[in-house]
Structure 1
Amino acid sequence: MDRRKFITGTIGGASLLAVSRFNNLYAWGQSNGDDKLPAILGGTKSHHDLWPDWPVWKSAYDEKVLKVLRSGVWSRAKVTAEFEQKWAQLIGTKRCLSVVNGTNALIASVAQFNIGPGDEVIVPPYTFIATIQAILMNGALPVFVDIDPKTFQIDPSKIEAKITSRTKAIIPVHILGIPADMTRIMAIAKKHNLIVIEDACQAHLAEVNGKRVGSIGDAGCFSFQTSKNMPIGEGGAITSDNETFMDQCFSYHNLGLPHGTQVGSVSGGGVRVGTKIRFTEYQAAIGLVQLTNLEKETETRWENARYLSEKIKGLSGISPATLYPETTKAVYHLYPLLYNKDQFKGLTRGQFLDSLRAEGIPCSSGYVPLHTQPFIKAAFESKLYQKVYDKKELDYADFIDKNQCPINDRICNEEAIWLTQNLFLGNKSSMDNIANAIEKIHSNADKIVRKLKK
């Protein structure tokens, strides 16, 4: 199950339906009233209520969107500019450009830093496919650096070994809403004169030393897709203090027509190869409404996640992701746990997930390994790559060998567990229910293993 399907399937009332397929396998629905026995063994479920809906829409604000719809001005205009100004202010950058989605925010940023054929870009393997597609769409080569086993983030200690004369940029990904180690990454980038594009698509308002992600590197990229902590449906943004870069991005997103420092007149035609990935006014209107809730919701997730982490910290075999010391806020688009089956009497991760769902807690195993997926081989077989690179550079077996990420593989295949961000909009009682569910499974793991062997 991929990330978006899992998230969609765990929102609102659907979160309870996610466990219904286990009714025919296990008798957890037929409670014997024992609240210390796991539901999968017939005990009482830890959580009975519906989880918070997502996305959330406050009907009192409908008029702001209706005003835009009634105006007949639907293409990019003043409302979009207002949204961009407010997002830049919120992130802490001089400029913001809104685009159709986070994927195109990344593609545009890579393109306008003149990263392309012959260049290499360092990136973690634990990310959504869009991060890598942005590199391939510009004809560059992704170079994978394995992750820190405790944080889920790119491991800075392994970056310099992957830098070559062709390395042009690093794309740290603040995956799951947890900041990467930007202090060390920025130091490495400065030492080797590399561009840093922050993939903050899952990390709205996350902070490092009080500075929001998306304002630390040369540019930041955000997504406003429905599952995100800041949902519009679809949408994305680029943030930066670099005026020339932002003018180039504006030109690129608007058919290559000149803008700001990109000298020329619209009537004279395009000044660069561009595309058309402009935001609409009604997307911006929705975004302005959603901004009114973002900071409060972010604080709620942050408080609940820290509370849950504290509740389960003494439980062997399962632990929340470690935050880097400089992290002043993680925003938990997804709340990740590291699972060790040996500390659960040999209960496999899949069996643990089944048991947790039976308790009324939606959960997932998260990403599968990305760096070995066939879309990279397909890119290497394309005309562009065949013409630009020699055969040795496009030897896929050699590419796989050079980009081994064993820690990422282990976490993807054996250890990662995800809880979605909407669960953390609940109250402390619901966090207690999650902790109680995990503890019940841990205490009765041997019984669950025996039952599932029958």
Structure 2
Amino acid sequence: MQLTDLLMNEGLAQHGGPKTVTSTFSWPLYDDTEVEAVAAVVRSGAWGNPDCAGLVAQFEQEFAAYCGSKYAVSCVNGSVSLRLALIACGVKPGDEVIVPPYTFIATASTVVEANCVPVFVDIDPDTYNLDPRAIEAAITERTRAIIPVHFGGQACDMDAILDIARRHNLRVIEDAAHAHGAEYKGKKLGTWGNVGSFSFQSSKNLTAGEGGIVVTDDDELYALMNSLRNVGRIEGGQWYDHYNPGCNYRITQMQAVLLSAQLQRLEEQTLRRDENGRYLNELLTPIDGITPLTRGHGETLHCYHLYIFKYDKSHFNGLPKNEFVERLAAEGVPCFRGYPHPLYRQPLFQQKNFMCYALPESVDYSQVLCPVAERACAEEAVWILQHAMLGTRQDMEAFAEAIRKVQRLS
């Protein structure tokens, strides 16, 4: 009996057949380095960070150096880091901020928190990042900033975005929550715009369970973000004097040492994800109905927080995307269907649940339509999760075989 016949007789794992992928993929990865670092902080009794100094400042310096930035300011999470960046960049109530509809809610909800108006602009079908042509068309006299999201670790077209920003005098805040270690034209993501914002939430490529950070080369932006995360205090000022309307957004010493230890692993992990992503592209491209998001748009190092491919059910006997993902997951591939709908369809925006925030009454998201994002959510986008991209070449081959198996047996 031929190998193909044997595979056909195996049956889908979802229906009791053997799994195609037998590896397990753990996250986070750690050893005694992290355990002993945290234990040392616990024994010291100095758990907090009232002065934004010590181990926290040490990690901030390490992360800034890794990114190639002058400054880094840590905070409690990646949502707050975006909010700090927006406020520091000087947006005022009613200002418009351009954001993509294919991203986590915080990219847009922090704009609302800053009393500004999120303007949703469609994504490029090849990368699922903001389409620069759509950005240009969406700019009005009220536009003040652009938040490009390096979604899944894929670099946005920063040359085009920065050119638009320069011509229209706009601030650029990079949402690099997925992009630790990734590069555009040899330079780290997060360092191209006025500010770069990162998350250290538990799923992220660099994690302490929670946390966030902003990086910048701008002295004034640094000073203001540093103040805002520390209850409005300023460097050199008295501890009980508060100059800006900030809150306590500080991280702890335990988070700092975890992040310092994890940072030592990041470059090697990023290189491995990039290599596996390139190989998986080679394996999946020949499969009818499977199209990896394209490279060659300026990214020189892709960190694959998500490996995303486009699915065409017409090559899988009409199998709906959600059922395809269920079958693929049953085969042992750590995968997810992605967002079920674009951000502007969230109840927050459809019902205008803006509470005390100063969005004009004229703002109406019920008529917003971004066709590429709609298609990605409903029909196309399938995600393989970042920890799976730390596997072996044999694991990548197994992922591809799992897709072929689902296709054969659909």
Q: TM-score, normalised by structure 1?
A: 0.85
Verify: 1:99 aligned to 2:75, yes or no: yes
Aligned residue for 1:345?
Answer: 317
Verify: 1:424 aligned to 2:389, yes or no: yes
Q: Give the one of 156, 160, 169 matched to 1:184.
A: 160
C-alpha distance 37-112 of structure 1, shift in aligned 2 (>3 A): farther
Q: Give the one of 104, 111, 116 matched to 1:140.
A: 116
Shift of 1:351: 2.4
2:122 and 2:313 map into 1 onto residues whose CA distance is 22
1:38 and 1:295 map into 2 onto residues whose CA distance is 40
Verify: 1:153 aligned to 2:118, yes or no: no
Superposition RMSD on alpha carbons, in Å? 1.8
Aligned residue for 1:239?
Answer: 215
Check conservation: 2:96, 2:116, Cα contact below 8 A.
yes
Check conservation: 1:38, 1:440, Cα contact below 8 A.
no
Secondary structure in structure 2 of the residue aligned to 1:384: coil
Aligned residue for 2:400?
Answer: 435
Aligned residue for 2:257?
Answer: 285
State the identity as a percent. Answer: 41
Shift of 1:296: 1.0
C-alpha distance 98-413 of structure 1, shift in aligned 2 (>3 A): same
Check conservation: 2:183, 2:302, Cα contact below 8 A.
yes
Aligned residue for 1:266?
Answer: 238
Shift of 1:180: 1.0
Q: Give the one of 378, 403, 406 matched to 1:413.
A: 378
Aligned residue for 1:310?
Answer: 282
Shift of 1:377: 4.7
Shift of 1:441: 2.2
Shift of 1:35: 2.8
Check conservation: 2:289, 2:312, Cα contact below 8 A.
yes
Shift of 1:379: 5.0
Amino acid at match of 1:215: T
Shift of 1:362: 2.7
Shift of 1:382: 1.9
Verify: 1:48 aligned to 2:13, yes or no: no
For structure 1, list consecutive stretches of 5 or more residues without a partner in the other structure: 1-32, 449-454
C-alpha distance 141-38 of structure 1, shift in aligned 2 (>3 A): farther
Written as runs of structure 1 = structure 2, the 5 A alignment for 1:380-391 is 381-385=354-358, 389=360, 391=361
2:165 and 2:218 map into 1 onto residues whose CA distance is 17
Secondary structure in structure 2 of the residue aligned to 1:371: helix
For residues 36-70 of structure 1, give each alpha carbon's deviation from its aligned partner in whole angstroms, at most 9, with x where no partner exists.
45632665431123x22101121244222222221
Verify: 1:400 aligned to 2:366, yes or no: yes
Check conservation: 1:176, 1:203, Cα contact below 8 A.
yes
Q: Give the one of 247, 264, 275 matched to 1:275.
A: 247
Aligned residue for 1:163?
Answer: 139
Shift of 1:437: 1.1
1:381 and 1:79 map into 2 onto residues whose CA distance is 38
2:323 and 2:332 map into 1 onto residues whose CA distance is 15
Check conservation: 1:258, 1:271, Cα contact below 8 A.
yes
Verify: 1:208 aligned to 2:184, yes or no: yes
Check conservation: 1:101, 1:224, Cα contact below 8 A.
yes
For structure 2, list consecutive stretches of 5 or more residues without a partner in the other structure: none
Check conservation: 2:112, 2:354, Cα contact below 8 A.
no
2:285 and 2:175 map into 1 onto residues whose CA distance is 29
Q: Give the one of 318, 324, 333 matched to 1:361.
A: 333
Amino acid at match of 2:348: F
Amino acid at match of 2:31: K
Check conservation: 2:184, 2:301, Cα contact below 8 A.
yes
Matched pairs, number: 401
Aligned residue for 1:57?
Answer: 30
Amino acid at match of 1:414: E
Amino acid at match of 1:294: L
Check conservation: 2:34, 2:258, Cα contact below 8 A.
no
Amino acid at match of 1:425: L
Aligned residue for 2:343?
Answer: 370
Amino acid at match of 1:52: F
1:434 and 1:268 map into 2 onto residues whose CA distance is 57
Amino acid at match of 1:307: Y
For residues 62-116 of structure 1, give each alpha carbon's deviation from its aligned partner in whole angstroms, at most 9, with x where no partner exists.
2222222211222223100110000001111000001011010001111111213
1:206 and 1:400 map into 2 onto residues whose CA distance is 35
Shift of 1:203: 0.7
Aligned residue for 2:7?
Answer: 35
C-alpha distance 436-324 of structure 1, shift in aligned 2 (>3 A): same
Shift of 1:413: 0.8
C-alpha distance 278-212 of structure 1, shift in aligned 2 (>3 A): same
For residues 1-47 of structure 1, give each alpha carbon's deviation from its aligned partner in whole angstroms, at most 9, with x where no partner exists.
xxxxxxxxxxxxxxxxxxxxxxxxxxxxxxxx933456326654311
Check conservation: 1:35, 1:45, Cα contact below 8 A.
no
1:75 and 1:277 map into 2 onto residues whose CA distance is 12
